[in-house]
Amino acid sequence: MRKYLFSILLMLLASCVVASPTPSPTPMQPQAQTSAPPRVLAVESFLADIAQNVAGDRLTVETLIPLGVDPHAYQPTPRDAAKVADCNVLILNGAGLEAFLDPLLSNASGQLVITASAGLTPRPDPQGEHPEGDPHFWLDPNNVIQYVENIRVGLSQVDPDGAAVYAANAAAYAEQLKALDQWITQQVANVQPERRLLVTNHESLGYFADRYGFTVVGAVIPSVSTDASPTAQQMADLITQIKATGAPAIFLEMGANPQLAQQIAAETGVKVVTDLYTHSLSAPDGPAPTYVDMLKYNVSQIVAGCRS
Ligand SMILES: [Zn+2]
């Protein structure tokens, strides 16, 4: 971070020199550019943390979307457009999660775009409205091993001298992800299989459910995105499903509007758990400051919510 701020200061200084009244050539600039480390920008905070684990001390990964903000509905600012245009490496999740980026990328040129989910096979969107399928791969840590590999390849391409460092970092982090998978499996074993039932705000836990033996009963917003609202019929169907299956709770991601969930809870008697960190990390002093913490925290909430 400090290194990054320092390079911003240098850039500001350089622009002051350029803006000075006496026009003069700036022979220092090309040299400064070749020695500056590549600027790496990840779209989501959890993706920045994953990428930082691969980058280690060699590069600083910045985050585009502020903490707690929904990537599905994100409205980029002019400052965001400048950040995207100025970075050398842009890391995005892909599979349709970041539709807002398309116009920004059409203006950008020269940077490497790493699609973290490239090579993974998406679950189909249950409603068929999102042809790219379900983008929430990262909620199963086994998929994140593929993210790590894609990020390793991309960083090694822009910084070949760091390739061995990135390979070692990626291998060490993949071990952490495998340990996380084992930890989740152990935690979930505390929930009887017939109570492993998930109702969520939108269809975000499909990969998680597939991996750990849960059934997705339904979602308040029956979509793999948050860009829709349920019809009265869809709400009624979800209430019927919850009553029929005995699903014990509705799990909402941090920041989601709880009103509809509370309405459903009033009719079905289920609990509403409102603070899963599915699309963003928490602040550093919160319960989910890293990707691994984020999954551990969610699993603790899900296990507690399904058991009681
Ligand atoms: Zn989502």
Model confidence at 33, pLDDT cuts 50, 70, 90, reads very low
Q: Does residue 9 fall inside a structural domain?
A: no
pLDDT of 147 > 70? The answer is yes
Residues 143 and 133 sit within 8 Å (Cβ to Cβ): no
- Do 169 and 34 belong together in one domain? yes
What contacts 24+ positions apart, CB below 8 Å, involve 143-146? 143/117, 143/207, 144/50, 144/177, 144/291, 145/174, 145/177, 145/178, 146/116, 146/117, 146/118, 146/119, 146/120
Ligand 1 centroid, distance to 226 Cα (angstroms): 6
pLDDT of residue 35: 67
Q: Does residue 266 fall inside a structural domain?
A: yes
pLDDT of residue 34: 56
Ligand 1 centroid, distance to 138 Cα (angstroms): 11
- Do 170 and 197 belong together in one domain? no
Boundary of a domain, candidates 150, 181, 212: 181
Ligand 1 centroid, distance to 173 Cα (angstroms): 24
The candidate with the shortest Cα–Cα distance to 281, out of 254, 246, 244, 251, is 254
Specify the CATH number for the domain of residue 246. 3.40.50.1980
pLDDT of residue 129: 85
Question: What's the mean pLDDT when you consider all of the chain?
Answer: 90
Tally the domains of the chain. Answer: 2
Q: Could you tell me which residue, 276 or 28, shows the higher pLDDT? A: 276
pLDDT of 25 > 90? The answer is no
Backbone angles phi, psi at 40, to 5 degrees: -110, 125
- Do 136 and 267 belong together in one domain? no
Boundary of a domain, candidates 181, 196, 215: 181
pLDDT of residue 12: 43
Q: Does residue 24 fall inside a structural domain?
A: no
pLDDT of 107 > 60? The answer is yes
d(CA 291, CA 281) in angstroms, rounded, equals: 7
Q: What is the pLDDT of residues 169-228, one digit of tens each?
A: 999 999 999 999 999 999 999 999 999 999 999 999 999 999 999 999 999 999 999 988
- Do 36 and 102 belong together in one domain? yes
- Do 103 and 161 belong together in one domain? yes
- Please give, one letter per residue, the 3-state secondary structure of 33-51: HHHCCCCEEECCHHHHHHH
The pLDDT of 132-136, averaged and rounded, is 96
Ligand 1 centroid, distance to 252 Cα (angstroms): 11
d(CA 209, CA 135) in angstroms, rounded, equals: 14
- Do 215 and 96 belong together in one domain? no
CB-based neighbours (< 5 A) of ligand 1, an ion: 204
Ligand 1 centroid, distance to 120 Cα (angstroms): 17
Ligand 1 centroid, distance to 201 Cα (angstroms): 9
pLDDT of 72 > 70? The answer is yes
CB atoms within 10 A of CB 57: 9
d(CA 8, CA 301) in angstroms, rounded, equals: 40
pLDDT of residue 32: 43
Q: Does residue 1 fall inside a structural domain?
A: no
pLDDT of residue 29: 43
Ligand 1 centroid, distance to 206 Cα (angstroms): 10
Q: What is the pLDDT of residues 248-260, one digit of tens each?
A: 999 999 989 999 9
d(CA 214, CA 195) in angstroms, rounded, equals: 8
Q: Does residue 247 fall inside a structural domain?
A: yes
pLDDT of residue 106: 82
Ligand 1 centroid, distance to 295 Cα (angstroms): 15
Ligand 1 centroid, distance to 136 Cα (angstroms): 6
The pLDDT of 128-132, averaged and rounded, is 88
Ligand 1 centroid, distance to 203 Cα (angstroms): 7
Amino acid, single-letter form, for residue 256: A
- Do 177 and 212 belong together in one domain? no
Model confidence at 28, pLDDT cuts 50, 70, 90, reads very low
- Do 225 and 261 belong together in one domain? yes
Boundary of a domain, candidates 140, 164, 181: 181
- Do 177 and 49 belong together in one domain? yes
Ligand 1 centroid, distance to 129 Cα (angstroms): 14
> Domain limits at 302?
186-307
The pLDDT of 262-281, averaged and rounded, is 96
- Do 162 and 222 belong together in one domain? no
- Do 238 and 124 belong together in one domain? no
Q: Does residue 19 fall inside a structural domain?
A: no
d(CA 282, CA 288) in angstroms, rounded, equals: 5
pLDDT of 6 > 70? The answer is no
Q: Does residue 111 fall inside a structural domain?
A: yes
Ligand 1 centroid, distance to 243 Cα (angstroms): 25
Instruction: Name the packing angle between helices 163-188 and 45-55 (round to 10°).
Output: 130
Ligand 1 centroid, distance to 116 Cα (angstroms): 16
Q: Does residue 16 fall inside a structural domain?
A: no
Ligand 1 centroid, distance to 34 Cα (angstroms): 39
- Do 116 and 235 belong together in one domain? no
